[in-house]
Chain A
Amino acid sequence: MKRVSSYMKVLLIDDNKDINDMVCLCLETQDITVKVVDEGREGLRSIKENHFDVILLDLAMPGFSGFDIFKALKDEGLLASKNIVIFTASSVTDNEIQEMLLTGAKGVLKKPISIDDLIETVERFRQDGHQ
C-alpha cells in the first residue's frame, strides 16, 4: 500500500553501485526521489547547491571520503542546516560516529541495514508542510 505523502528528496553518497541500486529501489517504492552521487567531492558540491530532506553519507570512500565531507560541512558551519545520516559498514569507527552524532549528524544507519530501518530512518525527516 503506497502512502499518501509529501514530496521527499534524498541524496545518497556512496561508491558502491549495488548498494545504491538497492537503496534507490527501496526508497523510490516509498515515493521518495533519490539522487545518487558516487564520489566525495561531487557529493559535497550537491549538498551545498541543493536542498535534500535527508543525506545518506557513506564514510569509507576512496579519495575524498565521507569523513572529509563531514569535516568540510562542519568547518563551514553547514551541519545544522543539513540532515546528515551516517551510512556506514565500518565497525571500528564507533567512537568517531559518536563524535559525529554529537557534532551535528542527525542519525546513523549501520550496514547491513534492514529495509525497515532504512525506510523508518528516512521517513523521520518527511516534512508535512511541503505537500
Chain B
Amino acid sequence: MTIYSSNSGSEKTEVLHGFENTTKAILEFLSNAQGSLYICADSSWPSVAMGVDVYRNALRDLFVRGVKLKIVTDITKDNLSYCMEVKKVGELRHIDGIKGNFAVSEREYTASSTLQEATLLQQVIYSNVKEIVEQQQNLFEGFWNRAIPAETRIKEIEEGTVLGDTEVIQVPLKIQELFIHLVKSAKEEILLILPTINAFYREERLGIIRLLKEATVERTIVVRVLTPVDEVIEQKVLSMMSLAVDQGKNLDIRHMTSAGVTVTTVTILVIDKKESLVIEKIDDSKEDFIDATGPATHSNSKPTVLSYISIFESLWQQTELYERVKESNEKLEKANEHLLTTERAKEEFISMVSHELKTPIVPLKGYAQMLLRPQFMGAVNEKQKKAISSMLRNIEKLQALVDDVMDVYKLDLGKIKFSKSYTDIGTLIRQTIAELRPLTFAKQIDLSEGIGADGQVFCDPDRIEQVLSNLIKNSIDFVPDKGDGKITVRAEKDNTNNITLTVEDNGIGIKPEKADKLFQKFYQIDTGATRRHGGTGLGLVICRGIVEAHGGKIWVDKTYKNGAAIKFTLADKEKENEEGK
C-alpha cells in the first residue's frame, strides 16, 4: 500500500507500509543494483541482513554479480558474529553508535526508520529522484570516511579492549543524575569542558564545581577544567586553585574563550580515561540544568572516550600556548609601564634638581652684586671687593653649569621645545658677534664675520645663537691673547642649498684623533683645560643636541690647519618637513 508518492515522469518518492510491501521493495532495490551499493545501518542491521534468509540471499547474489558493496555499521560484541558474515559479501567499517538506516545504489535509495532484531522491515522509504540519490551518496561518503575498518574494531572486541557501550540518554533528569554520579565515582582523573559561562553557573548550582573541589582536595584526583570565564568566575577559579595548590593538590582550571580557540557547543566530561559523557544544550539561557539540557551520550567505549580525551588535550594545549603568550605580553606591558614611570620620574627629578640648585644661587648672586655697589650696603674696601668679585664669578659659573646640565638632560629626553621661525642667518651671526664683543675686546681678540651666503633659515634663533655663542666662547678660551687671537664666523651655501656655518680660530687646534670625542659628554681636549678655560665640558654636547634637533650635523673640520674649525649645517629640507606637518 502506497501512502505517499510523488511522480514526475519516471522519478518517484514513496513510503511503503506492511512487511510484504517493504520486503518486496527492498528485494527489488537490491536486485536492481548495478556497479555499487552503499549501506549505512545501526547495530541491529547485521542481524537482520544475515539472519533473514531472503535478505542474506539477495546480498550474496549482489556479491556474486560483482556489485561493490560498502557497509557502515556499529560493530558491537553482540552483533559480532553477524558482522563476520557481512564481511564475506562486502567491505565493512565501524562507527560508534550510528543511528538510522539507509541504502543507496547508483540510481535508487531506500531507508527504514527502526529495525528490530532479526525481523522483517515494517516501513520503508523509496526514491529514485536523482537529487535525493546523489545527496544520500554524499552523506554515505561522509560516514565512510569517518569510519574505522571492521578488522580494527573486531580485534578490539576480541581482545576485550573494548567492552564498552555507547548509549544516548534523552531524559534531562537522568543526565543530571549520571553527571553527578560520574564526578563522584572518579578515582584518578576528571576532565571537564564547559562550553559557556552560563554552563559554568548551571553546573555550579548543580553542585558539580563543589564536587570537583572535593574530588581534588579529599580524594587527590587530578582535575582539569576548561571553561570560559567572566570576572566572577575568574575570582572563584583563582580561589579554588590557590586552595588546591596550597594543599599540594592537582586542580587546574583554564580559560577557554579568551584563548580564541574553537569552543565546543557541548559539555564534555571524561572520567579516569574510561568513561565519557557528552551533554548537548538546547537552551543556554536557562538557569536550571534540566531546562537547558538536550540529549546526552554516555560511553565507555575506548575509541569514543579516547577521541574526547584528544579533543580535551588539544584545547588544553591551545590554552597553555595562549597563557604563555599572555604571560609574556603582561611582562612586556609591565616593563613598558616601568619605563614610562622611570621616564616621568626622571623628568620630575631633573625639574626638581634644577629648581633646588638654582634657588640658593638667587640670594648669593643678589647680595654679591649689591655688595659691589655702595648704594645698597655701603662701600667695601679693595680686598673685600676682590673677594666678593671672585665669589660672584664663581656663582655665575655655577649658574652656567646648572643651565648646561639641564640643557643636556632636556635634549636627551627630547624635552626642549624649539620655537622655529624664518630667520635671517646674516643678522643672527652679526647679533651673536655683537653680544660677545665685550669678551673679545677685553682679550684683544679679532672677532669677525665672513658671511658668504645670506638668506632665511627655518630655525629657533635663540638656540642657534646659543650654538654659535658656545663655539665662539670655546675659541675665545683657546686663542692666543695680547692682540694675536683671531676668530671668524662664516656662512656658506652648498649645492643642496643647505647653509653651513663655521667658527674657526687660530688657537691650539684639535688633534684629529680627538675630534670625534669632542661632542661627547664631559670631554675636553685636555683635562687641564677645564680649569684653565672654565668651560663646563657640556657646551659642545649641547651644540650637537640643538643642531641635530634641527636636522643638521656638526663636526670638526680636520682639513683646517691654522687652528680649530667647527662646522655645522642647517638643513633647508627641515623647513619643508616642518611645513609638511
Binding site for B on A (CB under 8 A): 1-2, 16, 18-19, 21-23, 25-26, 29, 60, 89-95, 111-116, 118
Task: With A2-B375, A29-B376 given, name 16 new contacts (CB 8 A).
Answer: A16-B362, A18-B360, A19-B362, A19-B366, A22-B370, A29-B370, A89-B355, A91-B406, A92-B350, A92-B406, A95-B417, A111-B361, A112-B366, A113-B365, A113-B366, A115-B369
Q: How far is the CB of B182 from chain A (nearest CB, A)?
A: 68
A112 to chain B, nearest CB (A): 4
- Greatest chain A CB density within 10 A among B354, B359, B369, B395 is at B359
Q: Which chain B residues lie closer than 8 Å to A21 at the CB level?
A: 363
Contact with A along B353-392 (1 / 0, CB 8 A): 0110011111111110110000111000000000000000
Task: Kindly report which residue of chain A lies nearest to residue B367, judged by CB atoms.
Answer: A22
At the interface, yes or no: B323 with Cβ under 8 Å from chain A?
Answer: no
Contacts of A26 in B (CB 8 A): 366, 370, 376
Contact of B520 with A by CB under 8 A: no
CB distance from A98 to the nearest CB of B (A): 8
User: Are B370 and A112 in contact (CB-based, < 8 A)?
Assistant: no
In the complex, the answer to whether A114 meets B369 with C-beta atoms within 8 Å is yes
User: Which A residues are CB-close (under 8 A) to B360?
Assistant: 18
For the complex, is B351 an interface residue (Cβ under 8 Å from A)?
yes
Among residues of A, the one whose C-beta sits closest to the C-beta of B410 is: A92
**Beta-carbon contact of B359 and A16 below 8 Å:** yes
- Any A CB within 8 A of the CB of B415: yes
Q: Contacts A26-B376, A89-B355 hold; do A114 and B406 have CB atoms under 8 A apart?
A: no
B415: nearest chain-A partner, CB-CB? A92
Complex Cα distance, B364 from A19, in Å, reads 9
Report 23 cross-chain contacts, Cβ distance below 8 Å, ordered by A residue.
Answer: A18-B360, A22-B366, A22-B370, A25-B367, A25-B370, A29-B370, A90-B354, A91-B354, A91-B355, A91-B406, A92-B350, A92-B410, A111-B362, A112-B361, A112-B362, A112-B366, A112-B395, A112-B399, A113-B362, A113-B365, A113-B366, A114-B365, A116-B369
Within 8 Å of chain A (Cβ to Cβ): is B134?
no
Shortest distance between the CB of A61 and any CB in chain B (Å) = 11
Q: In the assembly, what is the distance between CA of A118 and CA of B376, in Å?
A: 14
Please give, as numbers and ranges, the residues of chain B lying within 8 Å of A16 by CB-CB distance: 359, 362
Closest 3 pairs between A and B when the two form their complex, measured CB to CB: A89-B358, A22-B366, A112-B361
Minimal beta-carbon separation of B544 from chain A (angstroms): 20
Q: Across the interface, which residues of B come within 8 angstroms of A93, CB to CB?
A: 351
Contacts of B406 in A (CB 8 A): 91-92
Taking CB atoms and an 8 Å cut-off, the chain B residues in 391-410 that contact chain A are 395, 399, 403, 406, 410
| B347: chain A residues within 8 A (beta carbon) | 92
Complex Cα spacing A23 to B395, Å: 17
Smallest Cβ-Cβ distance to A20: which chain B residue: B363
Chain B residues whose C-beta falls within 8 Å of the C-beta of A92 in the assembled complex: 347, 350-351, 354, 406, 410, 415
**What A residues does B364 contact at CB under 8 A?**
112
Residues on A with C-beta less than 8 A from B395 are 112
| A39, chain B: closest CB distance, angstroms | 17
B358, B376, B410, B415: which contacts A112 (Cβ < 8 A)?
A: B358
Q: Tell me if A90 and B355 are in contact (CB < 8 A).
A: yes
Residue among A25, A93, A115 with most chain B CB within 10 A: A115
Q: Which residues of chain B come closer than 8 Å to A95, judged between CB atoms?
A: 417
- Contact across chains for A115 and B366 when beta carbons are under 8 A apart: yes
Given contacts A114-B369, A115-B369, contact A90 B351 (CB under 8 A): yes
Residue in A closest to B372 when the chains form the complex, CB atoms:
A115
Please report the C-alpha to C-alpha distance between residue A91 and residue B400 in the assembled complex, in whole angstroms. Answer: 13
